[in-house]
Amino acid sequence: MPSPRRSFLRRSAVALLAGATAGCLSDGSTATDGPGAAGTDTDAATDAATPTATGTASPTPTDAPTATETATATPVPDALGNADFAEWLPAPAAFDREGYRFTSFAPRDILDRESDLGDGATEGLRGDPAVPGIDSYADAAAFHQIPPGVLVFEADFDREATAGDLRGRGLTEAATRERFAVFTGDRGAAALGESALVLALGAGGTEAGRSAVQAVVDAKAGAGPRYVDAVADCERLTAALGSAHLLRGRTHSAGDGLADAVAGGVGIEIGERETRVRTPAVFPEGEVDEGALADWAADADVFYGQSAETAVDGRVATAAATVRTAEIETFRTGSPAGSRRTEARTPEAIFGFEYEATGDGVGTLEITHEGGDSIPRAELSVRGTGFADVEGVDQTAAGQWQGTASGDDEAVVAGDYVTVGVASDYEVAVVWEANDGDTSATLNQGSGPDA
């Protein structure tokens, strides 16, 4: 049986933010054509992304883009629920990185357009989100995903009830920071404010989770450096993306981007009849390649078969197209960032472990994909020692993932899990291995109480 303690993660918006193909988002791309998509290398020290936000502090005068260096975003009459997403993004140094990928969307505003969109577009936003303090996706102003494994939920929370829910899931209130209550537990941490919940569960344990949520809270409060302040190309990218119901992007080294671009992303702004899709790419000074962007856009699924027009503004080239809103049945998030990368990329995903003893020195280990990239079942395995014959579990020996795989083409996505029979001294790891067998990585590992 799935653990009730985990149920809110298994069924939550994590599947929308992180398991793009599991909910209302679709990368519509491969490892060679998407920037904030599952095909990008978010672990590389040069990878990054960031959105724009009203009121975000400007970079230093020497790094700040001029008024002619960023593309002009299409204005919207009313601010979207995720309009301040860049304020939540800490400088990459907070995570010992040079950059990271972001995803942000506005569920409440998307659902306001449900009748205008095509069939199935909001499928992932229906039902109970099972996130502490959020009864319906219609109550959620914004969701943001920030590596490593940090999720931000913006809504009007009943703080007392939500705090009780967190305690019921094994977290203890440990401190107060910038008017947020910080909760910690064995698997990570959370920070609860009046209108936001920050989760970092499965991000490396108590201290790593606490450090992550505190960095996010500090950024939001203006008490710590933000991504857009620390990386000038991130500021250019987010200014070009503008305001949109769904945004995704990253910055990266010139060697990883389209025609030496250093940042790219996608913004989807939904209108009653027409939806605007923008895919900006930021280039080094004097190296803007509008032709390369146009060639990429000609075959990009993100434009839903429409011809994209390109424009250059300073160091930013943007491909954009208008799509009939009624024809959108899934949100595609391919963009020009990272389009030259062809090698296998280590997926970024969070796997949580929970052991329950069943007697005689054995028990059930439940391993749950709690957020991050979708991973083909064939590329995921459970390895280690201490496996045992336990009745009713998915697997009792090392081997390919035998649990649920609810994503497209049997991909393991956020919310999927596997139950494993183990002895109390088990040492088990979740391992990803590329199809060609040349690249592999341990995504997470755990040990039993008697190990």
Poorest-confidence range of 28-37, 138-147, 238-247, 259-268?
A: 28-37
Q: Is the pLDDT of residue 208 over 50?
A: yes
Where does residue 365 rank: exposed (0-12), middle (13-18), buried (19+ CB within 10 A)?
Answer: buried
Residues 393 and 367 in one domain: yes
Question: CATH number of the domain that 376 lies in?
Answer: 2.60.40
Residues 327 and 392 in one domain: no
Predicted pLDDT at 134: 85
Q: Residue 248 is inside which H or E element, if any?
A: strand 246-251
Residues 6+ apart with CB under 8 A from 251: 46, 47, 48, 49, 50, 99, 231, 233, 234, 237, 262, 263, 282, 337
Task: Report the alpha-carbon distance of residue 427 to residue 415 in Å, rounded.
Answer: 23
Indicate if the alpha-carbon torsion angle 49, 52, 53, 58 is positive or negative. Answer: positive
Residues 30 and 92 in one domain: yes
Residues 300 and 386 in one domain: no
Task: Report the alpha-carbon distance of residue 183 to residue 311 in Å, rounded.
Answer: 47
Residues 27 and 57 in one domain: yes
Q: Is the pLDDT of residue 235 over 90?
A: yes
Q: Is the pLDDT of residue 414 over 90?
A: no
Residues 390 and 320 in one domain: no
Residues 122 and 27 in one domain: yes
Task: Report the alpha-carbon distance of residue 387 to residue 194 in Å, rounded.
Answer: 44
Q: Judge whether 337 lies within some domain.
A: no
445 contacts 392 by C-beta, under 8 angstroms: no
Domain count, the chain: 2
> 322 or 64: which carries more pLDDT confidence?
322
Per-residue confidence at 203, pLDDT binned at 50, 70, 90?
low
Predicted pLDDT at 120: 87
Tell me the two tokens of residue 302.
């993100």
Q: Is the pLDDT of residue 131 over 60?
A: yes
Question: Whole domain around residue 390: which residue ranges?
Answer: 349-447
Q: Judge whether 354 lies within some domain.
A: yes
Q: Judge whether 242 lies within some domain.
A: yes
Q: Is the pLDDT of residue 434 over 90?
A: no
Q: Is the pLDDT of residue 422 over 90?
A: yes
Q: Is the pLDDT of residue 450 over 50?
A: yes
Task: Report the alpha-carbon distance of residue 442 to residue 447 in Å, rounded.
Answer: 14
Q: Judge whether 59 lies within some domain.
A: yes
Query: How many CB atoms are closer than 10 A to CB 104?
Result: 34
Q: Is the pLDDT of residue 440 over 70?
A: yes
Q: Judge whether 313 lies within some domain.
A: yes
For the residues 396-420, what does the mean pLDDT come to?
A: 92
Q: Residue 161 is inside which H or E element, if any?
A: helix 159-168
User: Where does a domain end: 300, 332, 364?
Assistant: 332
In angstroms, what CA-CA distances link 336 with 259, 270, 289, 321? Answer: 9, 21, 12, 14
Per-residue confidence at 256, pLDDT binned at 50, 70, 90?
confident
Q: Is the pLDDT of residue 123 over 90?
A: no
Residues 6+ apart with CB under 8 A from 205: 186, 187, 188
> 188 or 390: which carries more pLDDT confidence?
390
Residues 211 and 252 in one domain: yes
Q: Is the pLDDT of residue 363 over 70?
A: yes
| Mean pLDDT of the chain, nearest integer | 81
Predicted pLDDT at 37: 33
Tell me the two tokens of residue 125.
């936003």
Q: Judge whether 58 lies within some domain.
A: yes
Residues 302 and 400 in one domain: no
Per-residue confidence at 206, pLDDT binned at 50, 70, 90?
confident
Predicted pLDDT at 275: 97
Predicted pLDDT at 426: 94
> 44 or 337: which carries more pLDDT confidence?
337
68 contacts 314 by C-beta, under 8 angstroms: yes
Predicted pLDDT at 17: 42
pLDDT digits over 35-83, tens only? 333 333 333 333 323 333 333 333 333 343 333 343 444 444 579 999 9
For the residues 392-400, what does the mean pLDDT come to?
A: 95
> 339 or 356: which carries more pLDDT confidence?
356
Residues 296 and 392 in one domain: no
Predicted pLDDT at 50: 30
User: Where does a domain end: 289, 305, 332?
Assistant: 332
Q: Judge whether 91 lies within some domain.
A: yes
Predicted pLDDT at 6: 44
Per-residue confidence at 1, pLDDT binned at 50, 70, 90?
very low
Residues 200 and 328 in one domain: yes
Residues 225 and 190 in one domain: yes
Q: Judge whether 118 lies within some domain.
A: yes
